Structure 1
Amino acid sequence: MTPPPAAEASASDLLGAALGGAARRAGLDPAEGASTGHVVWAAMGGWRGVLESVLPGLVFIVVYTLTIDPDTGEGDLWLSLGLSVGIAAVFTAARLIARQPVTAAIGGLIAAGVAAAFAAFTGEASNNFIPGFITNALYGSAFLISALIGWSLIGLAAGFLMGEGTAWRADKRKRRVYFWLAIAWASLFAARLLVQLPLYFADNVTALGTLKLVMGLPLFAPLVAVTWLAVRALYPRGESNEVTAAE
């Protein structure tokens, strides 16, 4: 195999380090030997992470649905948005007070705020979901493109975590596994768009919000587990240490 140009290799190393670092902070380090359940739970951030991810959106859709006016068919947009953003702000404040990592909470607050801004400025509750569509499209495209050009984002992250950099590209088995893992993640984001966009255009806010929750963590968690198990299977116990020691 022809080695990649130095600039390309350097860029891939930097990207791999960034992705691997993010995965490690999320508890997704195959070299640690943690159980699958522990890894998935860590990736979701535990109970607090689950609540921070789910509760703002759940409150929005529940309040909006419960306040729908039979005559207009619309719910109380401002109350729904206010409570949703307010809950995200409470989570962030709680982490700040407890001096805990606030990255996830701040990310949730920003996401809730941006989504609320879309809905508030247009007066359309369904526009609260536009940022999510954009995020899914960007993530899905990134995973798909990385797979098609042979530089799977999963492979870059795993290569950094396992101490082999981009050496996995010389292994056909690893390249094949990382290709399909990237395709699987791209498919998840594509499925969300395929299912949710028709509901958006139909202005079915209740169904859209419900399916967004259903296609969130319930699909994310199993795919994290599959990805982690697949990566672990590629590296027999102790192999990562041997690779690192040989470098």
Structure 2
Amino acid sequence: MSASAPDPDAEREQSATEIFGAALGGAARRAGLDPADSSSTHKVVWSAMGGWRGILESVLPSLAFVVLFTVKPDPLILALGVSVGIAAVFTIVRLLQKSPPAAALGGLVAAGAAAALALWTGRGEDNFVPGFITNSLYGSVLLISALVGWSLIGLAVGFLMGEGTAWRSDRRKRRAFFWLGIAWAALFFARLGVQLPLYFAGDVTALGTLKLIMGLPLFAPMIAVTWLVVRALYPRTPSEDVAVES
């Protein structure tokens, strides 16, 4: 093989990276996180949370479970059934309105899996196990990707901004995406660090309450910080502002 011949393995790796990065960028854009947009930070955070509907879909099933379990822990199926039922109602409403059901469907599947596990073991605290697994996976992937220099935040933003993986050659961007990845990973691991002791102690009420407190109330500021950092890295040019206004 000559020195100038292309490396098939490198090409396949680059292709896989582009596909994965494009998928991340598309998901971020659908969530309202498009740095090319001129929206305010408040609007971006609100869009990322899904507005009032997204907040209710995220909070109500867990809130119903915690309240009902605290008031009447037996039978366990009552609190679990109401929680899953609320998630199902949100999903049905989205389907009837022909709006994107992905968020509600994800919530319904998660609520159903958690309820099934709790019913199988007969322990209310096991309703939170899928959340622990999710936080572990998200935190680990974000941490590892940042440490190896391929921050998932950078991949998503790079394809949103149309520069692919070129950000990796920019020291300022690479450092910023590294720390954003670390910050997001820290959020997921912090949830585990606080909530796992309560799980092992069997304190369902405190566990459910802290899950809600460490959910959207921490997610929203992280989205805001991420948005502000990315906007600083990719400042809008006067020509872009004119194009948006027109």
Give the TM-score, by structure 2 length.
0.92
Q: Counterpart of 1:198?
A: 197
Pair 1:6 & 2:11 matched: yes
Give how far 1:96 is off.
1.0
The Cα shift of 1:100 comes to: 1.1
CA distance in 2, matches of 1:225, 1:14: 26
Structure 1 residues not aligned, in runs of 5+: 69-74, 242-247
Please identify runs of 4+ aligned residues in structure 1 that moved more than 6 A: none
**1:108 counterpart residue number:** 107
Output the CA distance in 2 between the equivalents of 1:127 and 1:239: 54
**Are the counterparts in 2 of residues 163 and 240 from structure 1 also a CA contact under 8 Å?**
no
* Alpha-carbon distance between aligned partners in 1 of 2:186 and 2:147, rounded to the nearest angstrom: 13
The equivalent of 1:207 in structure 2 is: 206
Amino acid at match of 2:10: P
Distance in 1, matches of 2:49 and 2:96, equals 22
Superposed, which structure 2 residues align to 1:118-133 within 5 Å?
A: 118-133=117-132
Does residue 26 in structure 1 map to residue 31 in structure 2?
yes
- Provide the rounded CA distance (Å) in 2 between the counterparts of 1:129 and 1:118: 9
Which residue of structure 1 lines up, in the alignment, with residue 63 of structure 2? Answer: 58
Name the CA distance, whole Å, in 2 between partners of 1:131 and 1:142.
Answer: 17
- Deviations along 1:160-218, one digit per CA (max 9) or x if unpaired, are 00010000000000000000000000000000000000000000000000000000000
Percent of counterpart pairs with the same letter?
70
Deviation (angstroms), 1:239: 9.6
- Between the two proteins, the alignment pairs up a number of residues equal to 232
Distance 1:99 1:76 in 2: 36
- TM-score, structure 1 as length reference: 0.91
**1:44-64 Cα deviation digits (max 9, x unpaired):** 000000000000000000000
SS in 2 for 1:31: coil
Taking the TM superposition and a 5 Å limit, the aligned residue runs for 1:1-247 are: 5-68=10-73, 75-238=74-237
The answer to whether the 8 Å contact 1:31/1:240 transfers is no
Q: Secondary structure of 2:229's match?
A: helix
Report the secondary structure of 2:33's partner residue: coil
What RMSD, in angstroms, separates the aligned Cα atoms of the two structures?
A: 1.5
Q: CA deviation at 1:240?
A: 11
2 CA distance for matches of 1:165 and 1:106?
30
- Structure 2 unaligned spans of 5+: 1-8, 241-246
